[in-house]
Structure 1
Amino acid sequence: MLKPQIPVAKEGFPFIGFMVFITLVFAILSYDLLVWPCLVLTVFVLCFFRDPERFVPPEEDAMVSPADGKVIIAEKVQDDTFTEGEAFKVSIFMNVFNVHVNRAPMAGTVEKIVYRPGKFYAADSARGALQNEYCGTVLQTASGKKIAFVQIAGLIARRIICWLEPGDSILKGRRFGLIRFGSRVDLYLPLDTEILVQVGQKVRAGETVIANLK
């Protein structure tokens, strides 16, 4: 029998523990004016690092969303960094109330990890897309398709966490990282991919089918 997954990302434990400690100290000292704001912040941090289980669609060609949030871009682009050619780009913006654990959109083998330090502009802005810090994963699927998913920092996101390394094999829907306090994940897909989402649509990591690979 599988052990139940603790519904909180382990990267959040230090932050949650710190906020609980501060709240308890203020409560013991009877600093009532500080206890309530700290309690609210504790609940916020706990919610931010929540990590619920998801039900991954079994269809082999069904690509799932790598992040919770809202689709802000769905268009053809020239991608010279990750897939090295024309691609269909889908961008998902995560606000501070979304689950921030990221999941693999497809099963496959990691070809390379592309990391670039950068700025911390608003992730849903054009300037943020061009200049912000990012960590991109290039994946070859079992059918030989090349896709990329890119974690992009945002205005208050200061830490991108990616657990993958070149050569790793990963299953669709498996957790691969998170962006601490932010903010956006971009997908670069083959042009013949059947895109199933539209700009403005809300999606859930590991569950929402955003495309079918052909």
Structure 2
Amino acid sequence: MTIHKEGRNSIALVIIVNAILIALSFTIFKENDTVGAILVGIGAILLIMILQFFRNPKVNPRVNENYVLAPADGKVVVIEDTEEQEYFQDKRKQISIFMSPVNVHVNRSPISGSVKYFKYHPGKYLVAWHPKSSTDNERTTVVAEMQNGLEILWRQIAGAMARRIKCYVDEGDRLIQGNEFGFIKFGSRVDVFLPLDADVKVNIGDKTKAGITVIAELQ
């Protein structure tokens, strides 16, 4: 288990806050043990919360060219046939995974392939389960082409709390199934758009592990 690089600034800030709270407990509130203990306790809780949020556990991906792996830890909230308007402009099978603040927020490539399309969209910060969040919120769109020519699209979507999306890929990059491609801070969702004949292997409400859970099998 390591701490993700995206957490460095946040952890440094929490450490500074902890130092201030400890200093207060030994100066202004030195004669009030209860208040001092509360301040130190608050600092400790903040540090534990921020460390667990930016944890980056080691993953052994279930590499298989026929599998589409979960791009995020979280819960399956959408499985439906829908019109994908940005790139394919036709009907696709959509699987959406919601990440709560307690989930690991490292995003992993669901397939291996070459990045054919990448775009960052500035936008709103509606709650991640809002019907319009996938089209109106801040988001990134990635399309990767597999060796057999099949293209898969996935989209990182910001939520009400998630105000920073990081995507480490660009057009022309080569992705390896299960490897990290991005990170979303403080809870959001990832949508995956598949061919209509993809065999979905998850159900609404299922918990997923990035790079491990098979969400669909390609025909």
Q: 2:33 corresponds to which residue?
A: none
Structure 1 runs (4+) greater than 3 angstroms displaced? none
Among 201, 208, 212, the residue aligned to 2:206: 201
**Identity across matched positions, percent:** 38
Which sections of structure 1, spanning at least 5 residues, go unmatched? 1-5
Among 10, 13, 27, the residue aligned to 2:5: 10
Which sections of structure 2, spanning at least 5 residues, go unmatched? 30-35
Q: 1:146 offset after TM fit, Å? A: 0.7
The CA RMSD over aligned residues, in Å, is 1.3
Report if the CA contact (8 A) 2:68-2:218 is conserved. yes
Q: 1:19 corresponds to which residue?
A: 14
Query: Counterparts of 1:124-139 in structure 2 under 5 Å?
Result: 124-139=129-144
CA distance in 1, matches of 2:134, 2:176: 28
Asked if residue 42 in structure 1 is aligned to residue 47 in structure 2, the reply is: yes
Q: Letter of the 2:66 partner, please give it.
A: D
**Structure (1 or 2) with the larger CA radius of gyration:** 2
Q: 1:171 offset after TM fit, Å? A: 0.3
Report if the CA contact (8 A) 1:152-1:185 is conserved. yes
CA distance in 2, matches of 1:106, 1:69: 18
Among 175, 180, 185, the residue aligned to 1:175: 180
CA distance in 2, matches of 1:83, 1:68: 26
TM-score of the pair, normalised by structure 1: 0.93
TM-score of the pair, normalised by structure 2: 0.91
Q: 1:3 corresponds to which residue?
A: none
CA distance in 1, matches of 2:79, 2:162: 23
Report if the CA contact (8 A) 1:55-1:206 is conserved. yes
Asked if residue 147 in structure 1 is aligned to residue 190 in structure 2, the reply is: no
